[in-house]
Amino acid sequence: MLLRDLLIRIAETYDATAGTASGVPAQDLLREVERMSDLPLPHGFAASGYGGQGSASSTPWIGVFGKSINTRAQEGLYLAYIFDSTLTSVTLTLQQGVTKLSNEYPKLGDRLRELKRRARHLQAGLEPELAMDWRHTPAFRSKLERPRAYEAASVAARRYEIAHMPTEEVLAEDLHVASLLLRDAAASHRVWLQQLPEGEPFLYEGEGHSASGDPLDDFRPNSSSDYYVRIKGGRRRRERLHEKLIRDFGLYVVTRGYIPITQGMYPRDLVLRRPAVDQQRSWLVEGKAVKHGNATHAVREAVAQLYEYSYYWHEKRGEPKPHLVALFTEDVGQYAEYLEHHGIASIWRADGEVWTGSPTAVSWGLAVQA
């Protein structure tokens, strides 16, 4: 069955007063979803239909789960086609699981506020070029607790009118983009494909931080996976060299005794701490992709941003001036000496694996001598 036909048929046949027993047409169709092999699911994704347990849901839905991300609707992140209670529209939404959260926030108002707060955090990690057309705020036209939670839990969404359902090709393309947004959201929550424990290693307390737990707990860079944008003449792939650079370097510095932090550091790329060596100062890292072998533009941007972030995000807040590090995807040649002159250490990856850098970077144990 085509995805378009499935969505329309559910909308046309679903009856919340008919219960969930076998023999109820729309409920049987929803249960059949997980066995449908012709739905345009992205690679590594699976789908399941939900019409309620015991009593029928007022807002039936189809979950689409990234197997390497999350396979449970009770918690974590997933995609869902959620029908409104009038069955006149269905919304494809990037959802947060709401069931487990009810234990932590038993009051609905508190739970809705927390879901919205988390949604804003996750939205900040989405690729802007992909997310710009996914800003719809779902409204499922129900006063019941669960649909209201679905509304608050939405990170990104797109609504379809049943009477004007797009073609199968458009639905398939939208689902593909949604899967990339899901991967972005998952990566902003934790390192992509590296399931780290929950918790914050640093809690803001006045002017400083207090450390706890795994040194990678607060390292949650954006996804380094390539993505596609739709432009005139077709789709084009965009590489996320910057995100991969930050991710790989962050994982590397842990082996050098540093704690990498991305959580709560925006617009800064990365902040390093090394309590065993310096309790006060941090290392401010700005990453840049060198394109077509031309380092000039990357170096200029790195210098400007390091000085700006150091001043506004550290010195103006009463913190000690951080050590400055410019991180590049490749050798910046004579600019390494220029950066050293301005008090900025430079680091780049050589031969695919070795992190090479300027004398200051070497003295900090962050790189080997160029």
Beta strands 89-96; 354-357: pairing state: unpaired
CA distance 329 to 352: 10
Can you tell me whether residue 182 is helix, strand or coil?
helix
* CA-based torsion, 187, 189, 195, 200: positive or negative: positive
Same domain, 117 and 259: no
Task: Give me the pLDDT at residue 222, please.
Answer: 53
Q: What is the mean pLDDT of residues 199-224?
A: 43
| Tens-digit pLDDT profile for residues 310-369 | 999 999 988 999 999 999 999 999 999 999 999 999 999 887 678 999 999 999 999 998
Same domain, 110 and 217: no
Q: What is the mean pLDDT of residues 273-299?
A: 87
Task: Give how far the C-alpha of residue 347 lies from the chain's centroid of Cα atoms, to the nearest Å.
Answer: 26
Buried b (16+ CB within 10 A) or exposed e, 64-92: bbbeebbeebeebbbbbbbbbbebebbbb
Same domain, 115 and 237: no
Q: What is the mean pLDDT of residues 248-258?
A: 87
Beta strands 259-261; 45-50: pairing state: unpaired
> Per 3-state DSSP, what percentage of the chain is helix, strand, and coil (rounded to 5)?
35, 25, 40
User: Comparing 178 with 239, which gets the higher pLDDT?
Assistant: 178
Give domain status of residue 264, yes or no.
yes
CA distance 22 to 2: 23
Same domain, 116 and 10: yes
Give domain status of residue 201, yes or no.
no
Same domain, 139 and 260: no
Look over the chain and give the mean of its residue pLDDT values, rounded to a whole number.
Answer: 85
Same domain, 155 and 272: no
Same domain, 273 and 230: yes
Can you tell me whether residue 186 is helix, strand or coil?
helix
Q: Please work out, in degrees rounded to the nearest 5, the angle formed at the alpha carbon of residue 317 by the alpha carbons of 299 and 348.
A: 25
Domain boundary among 125, 154, 185: 185
Beta strands 270-274; 278-288: pairing state: antiparallel
**Enclosing domain of residue 63:** 3-185
Same domain, 33 and 127: yes
Task: Give me the pLDDT at residue 219, please.
Answer: 59
Same domain, 233 and 176: no
pTM, full prediction: 0.56
Give domain status of residue 32, yes or no.
yes
In sequence order, the β-bridge partners of residue 210 are: 203
Task: Please report, for the domain that includes residue 141, its CATH number.
Answer: 3.30.920
Domain boundary among 185, 220, 247: 185
Number of domains in the chain: 2
Say how many C-beta atoms besides its own lie within 10 A of residue 214's C-beta. 13
Give domain status of residue 194, yes or no.
no
Same domain, 92 and 214: no
Q: Judge residue 267's burial from the number of C-beta atoms within 10 Å of its C-beta, 0-12 exposed, 13-18 middle, 19 or more buried.
A: exposed
